[in-house]
Homo-oligomer: A and B are copies of this chain.
């Protein structure tokens, strides 16, 4: 076993070193003119200040929770016979250590991701002056630093903790995963607040800057005279980069641990049936880590392959896609090898390739999600065109059409997800091993997440190119340079939308895996063993009420997240109005003095404070609801139904997950569709941005104005509430995993 762990650790260290190499490569590039640097420095300063303060708040909350966890496990819950370790204090110690470690790693990953992103943006902008290819590579490799860091660190963390427990405690290696579940919880705890805070920040700044700038002062978007414009650019970094980084960090961490728990169950029940694996129980437990390690290497190769042709005529998206396919194919080959190596049972010769097919199912699912997302959010297709068409009769019909598209777009992903789950389950079940169906679904999830590092690189590519565009715009570069960054920016928007589809798909599959891990854990802690038939029986009133609360939690959380954006935006608007108050006016129109220098810092400061204040309530709601239900519903425990509270929590988790997936699809795709309907009109459809009247006067096109309303409504949907729901889904899973022993 030591060798396997060492291999995993070695690959993750290699991943980290490669991230360091890429970051040095990015930093070697030139940082451009002074004008560019001034803007970039303002962004950097704002982003770092926000992240520092946000991290302080989050770590404080995490500290409180760590203390509560330690007290809860060490002193309140008494030791039980079936606990994996000998004493309450030891259990409390491992759980708390892994929680704190997970939280710290997540904070670190988010911070470093943003650190390199705010340094890549200006270098991308400067490279665009000479070469699109170079700009593309800087942006992608800057994003890849984040991607590699996140995936490698999550792997290193899990493997390291496993090794740590193994060397200090005499616990059965197959039960170690139960002790390190806290790592996933720590990571998702941080991710929830990072995504929420960042999401509120970015959209409050965006909506606030737009409303007060475009609507009240009549100045264009990204205009340097708008005091909120730097806050808006900062938002791209703290929302999209740091938030998404933390999100995928916990995805991979939680999924690793969940798959290890299920693998341990499978291997042990196979051994009992006399069908042991050739690499033993430990081989199966290590399989998820090995598969992930191979995925890192495949992603690195893919990333290094990306470049444009010599004439730079190629669509940058094609280059990115080519790299992705290379990564996918390599990852799948490696995945096949790993299944053959670790999931081989001499008495079930078909098992390994059944699991390999499960992995393929996972990959196909992610491809399916990506295509469906494209269909619903790109203006080539019916949905976005319909929204643009509906804008002709005003903002109301635009909203109705967009909302209808959002609701509709839940159907296909649900069917894909359902088919994938059932296919993987039945592949696993027909593998020849006993009870291998659930492990099949776990393997599908691993397949889907195999290229997570590449996906994350593409995702962070988005805000880097977005910022590069902003820097080029604000430092007033010539038209042909802007065209180049615009091309990159358009690609960045596409990758951002696609990776959101990927994130929700992987969250859905991972959630199902984590439910099973939860059930497994409940059985282990309650000493019922695998023979016991633990069911999550919705027909019991207590369980049904748990399910009801889970679905409601999603709705309430989305409401709070959306409202938070509105309230934080109000504080920005007030500040900009304060700055504009002393300016001279003619006919109520502001006459900006030539030397007007807005105070960017105060806006950054205000939105920072507002976002941090607003993120606390929805965040705590998610953390506390399952805890309260789990503990309060213990009052319904009766003889013969000792696990009723654990069942109610499971129902909360599962139905909350279903609701969360659907709501996130509505919010993400609805928002994306509105955004692109506006862009479609700006590209000239239905009259474009301005109409020319018979007398030659140009007037604003009301159809475009209607589409702008939809776009603004979609902002908090797709960039605050939607992505936060991905994290909510996983936080629910990890928190129930960590606290399961308290509910029984």
Contacts and interface: CB of A to CB of B under 8 A. Distances in A.
A399 B415 CA distance: 30
Most chain B Cβ neighbours within 10 Å, of A516, A536, A565: A536
B399 A709 contact: yes
Contact of A538 (B211, B394, B549, B651): B651
Contact of A549 (B407, B418, B552, B661): B418
Contact of A400 (B545, B552, B562): B562
A620 interface: no
B709 A411 contact: no
A199 B536 CA distance: 38
B394 A558 contact: no
A609 to B, nearest CB: 21
Interface in A608-645: 636
B573 A541 contact: no
Contacts of A562: 400, 403-404, 407
Contacts of A48: none
Contact of A519 (B393, B539, B708): B539
A417 interface: yes
A716 B636 CA distance: 41
Nearest to A658: B551
Interface in A541-581: 541-542, 544-545, 547-549, 551-552, 555-556, 558-560, 562-563, 565-566, 569, 573
Contact of A537 (B403, B535, B555): B535
A421 B549 contact: no
Interface in A407-445: 407-408, 410-411, 414-415, 417-418, 421-422, 425, 437-438, 441
Nearest to A428: B541
B393 A555 contact: no
Given A395-B709, A399-B399, A516 B536 contact: no
A176 to B, nearest CB: 24
Contacts of A410: 552, 555-556
Interface in A507-521: 512, 515-516, 519
Nearest to A557: B407
Contacts of A136: none
Most chain B Cβ neighbours within 10 Å, of A396, A399, A556, A655: A396
A536 B534 contact: no
A262 interface: no
Contact of A401 (B417, B563, B650, B655): B563
Interface string A201-213: 0000001000100
A390 interface: yes
A662 B551 contact: yes
Nearest to A538: B536
Nearest to A540: B535
B545 A421 contact: yes
A202 B548 CA distance: 32
A541 B421 CA distance: 7
Contacts of A636: 422
B558 A407 contact: yes
A712 B401 CA distance: 12
A565 B393 CA distance: 14
Nearest to A569: B397
A85 B564 CA distance: 60
Most chain B Cβ neighbours within 10 Å, of A406, A425, A658: A658
A2 interface: no
A211 B539 contact: no
A98 to B, nearest CB: 25
Contacts of A536: 537-539
B556 A408 contact: yes
A544 B407 contact: no
Q: Kindly report how many copies of this chain are found in the complex they form together.
A: 2
A693 to B, nearest CB: 11
B408 A559 contact: yes
Nearest to A440: B541
A393 B211 contact: yes
A654 interface: yes
Contacts of A417: 548
B537 A400 contact: no
Given A394-B211, A539-B519, A566 B414 contact: no
Contacts of A408: 555-556, 559-560, 563
A578 B538 CA distance: 55
A601 B90 CA distance: 81
A199 to B, nearest CB: 14
A699 interface: no
Contact of A709 (B542, B544, B709): B709
Contacts of A552: 410-411, 414-415, 662
A621 to B, nearest CB: 10
A541 B651 contact: no
A234 interface: no
Interface in A209-236: 211, 215
Contacts of A549: 414, 418
B566 A404 contact: yes
Most chain B Cβ neighbours within 10 Å, of A399, A415, A441: A399
A27 interface: no
A407 B539 contact: no
A418 B556 contact: no
Contacts of A438: 541
A82 to B, nearest CB: 20
A138 interface: no
B573 A393 contact: yes
A117 to B, nearest CB: 28
A74 interface: no
Contact of A535 (B400, B437, B535): B535
Given A393-B573, A534-B539, A548-B661, 5 more contacts: A211-B397, A396-B713, A406-B559, A407-B562, A536-B539
30 contacts: A207-B397, A211-B393, A390-B566, A393-B573, A396-B708, A396-B709, A400-B562, A400-B713, A401-B566, A403-B562, A404-B560, A406-B559, A407-B555, A407-B562, A408-B563, A410-B556, A411-B552, A414-B549, A418-B545, A421-B545, A425-B541, A425-B542, A512-B541, A512-B544, A534-B539, A536-B539, A537-B537, A538-B654, A538-B655, A548-B661
The 8 A-B residue pairs whose C-beta atoms are closest, nearest first, are A407-B559, A396-B712, A408-B559, A535-B537, A414-B552, A418-B545, A536-B538, A425-B541
